[in-house]
Amino acid sequence: MTSDHPVAGRVLIAGGGIGGLAAGIALQQRGIATLVCERAPELREVGAGLLLSPNAVRVLRRLGLEDAARAGSRVIEEWRILDLQGRHLHRMRPVKTGIPALSLHRGDLQLALRDALTPGTLRLGFNLTHHREIPGGVEITNETGERLTGEILVGADGLNSRVRSGLLAPEPARFCGYVGWRCVVPWIPRGYEGAWLSESWGEGKRFGISPLGRNRCYWYATANQARASSAPVDVRSELMAMFGRWHAPIPELIAATPAETILRTDIFDRPDLSRWTRGRVTLLGDAAHPMTPNLGQGACSALEDAWVLAREMASAANGTEGLRRYEEARHRRTSWINRVSRLLGRVIQLENPAATAVRDTLLRLTPGACSDWAMRPLFRFDG
């Protein structure tokens, strides 16, 4: 930390997920001291697959982390939308920016980000319970009563952010009416050796298959359902009942996946906010703007946030001005992505057979170039 920098004290970041770690790296690269406080006692390879579109890969490139992200990933050049019998409905090849899209394991990315932080600036096992502003700074406290101070606090602590609930009026996350299942398996199904992924759409259900690097494959599914109950479920039987008659290799993939490796997640978002900063405290990633996974943009947006936060903090006259400028630079784009993602979810999760027939016909008739064009503003990030 240089003493003549306008941000004179350290920036505390709550949450060592994709957004928190990336923010730590981006700030450090601009000479701003940070401490990332993560509640987990260790960072392990948790989660499943992630698709990082070119806007996010551009951020990684600027941070000098593209090669680290590419190790273990698969470049994706084409998105194929299929029906449940495996017939093509639509193809998109939106990657004409010179920057690839990558399909990778969330855990691989998280570990690559961890390794790029300055040693000693990641504090594990710190479960933030509350924060408060103090003269000239902020103080955070964990469940054992330990306190840490800094000049600025960034809440990057995910969907159920403690920082957010201490900052803004409490408001429950919004359940979107469908649940998701995700898994990474250590083999690539036949036919998925190329630079493409598929998403198959049915009535109120979908199934995605996206190969990763190192001979692994990420699959995911969604279905219109009530929120998970605590009663134990035989997840494979549940999935086979829904997808067992879909096209190959979907039933084979489910049947060969150990049930205990399948993650089930209720899908939530929150209505978009135009303000998520108060004084010396701001939010980033899912803590600020959790979105449905339909566009695959939650982690991508968290990476963009990290880049813009560091850029604004480094050029502002002081930390609070930097936070204000960061929020101003980000709210329009993240609100737009959030709304489009939710809308797309409604279309994908349509259940009525007549409505899905119309949807599928329209998709079949729409040239792929139209989608390539429509996706361009999403995949371009000039920040």
Ligand X SMILES: Cc1cc2nc3c(=O)[nH]c(=O)nc-3n(C[C@H](O)[C@H](O)[C@H](O)COP(=O)(O)OP(=O)(O)OC[C@H]3O[C@@H](n4cnc5c(N)ncnc54)[C@H](O)[C@@H]3O)c2cc1C
Catalog residues that contact ligand X under the rule CB under 6 A: 14-20, 37-40, 50-51, 126-128, 156-158, 162, 180, 182, 220, 265, 285-287, 293, 296-300, 302
Residue 37 Cβ vs ligand X, minimum distance, rounded to whole Å: 6
CB closer to ligand X out of 233 and 248 = 233
Residue 365 Cβ vs ligand X, minimum distance, rounded to whole Å: 27
Residue 3 Cβ vs ligand X, minimum distance, rounded to whole Å: 29
Residue 362 Cβ vs ligand X, minimum distance, rounded to whole Å: 24
Residue 280 Cβ vs ligand X, minimum distance, rounded to whole Å: 18
Residue 311 Cβ vs ligand X, minimum distance, rounded to whole Å: 18
Tell me how far CA of residue 32 lies from CA of 9, 130, 322, 333, in angstroms: 8, 24, 12, 26
Question: Quick one: three-class SS letters along the chain?
Answer: CCCCCCCCCCEEEECCCHHHHHHHHHHHHCCCCEEEECCCCCCCCCCCEEEECHHHHHHHHHCCCHHHHHCCCEEECEEEEEECCCCEEEEECCCCCCCCEEEEEHHHHHHHHHHHCCCCCEECCCCEEEEEEECCEEEEEECCCCEEEECEEEECCCCCCHHHHHHCCCCCCEEEEEEEEEEEECCCCCCCCCCEEEEEECCCEEEEEEECCCCCEEEEEEEECCCCCCCCCCHHHHHHHHHCCCCCCHHHHHHHCCHHHCEEEEEEECCCCCCCCECCEEECHHHCCCCCHHHCCHHHHHHHHHHHHHHHHHHCCCHHHHHHHHHHHHHHHHHHHHHHHHHHHHHHCCCCHHHHHHHHHHHHHCCHHHHHHHHHHHHCCCC
Residue 266 Cβ vs ligand X, minimum distance, rounded to whole Å: 9
CB closer to ligand X out of 322 and 345 = 345
CB closer to ligand X out of 106 and 325 = 106
Cα gap 9→12, rounded to integer Å:
9
Q: Are strands 88-92 and 205-211 parallel, antiparallel or unpaired?
A: unpaired
Residue 22 Cβ vs ligand X, minimum distance, rounded to whole Å: 8
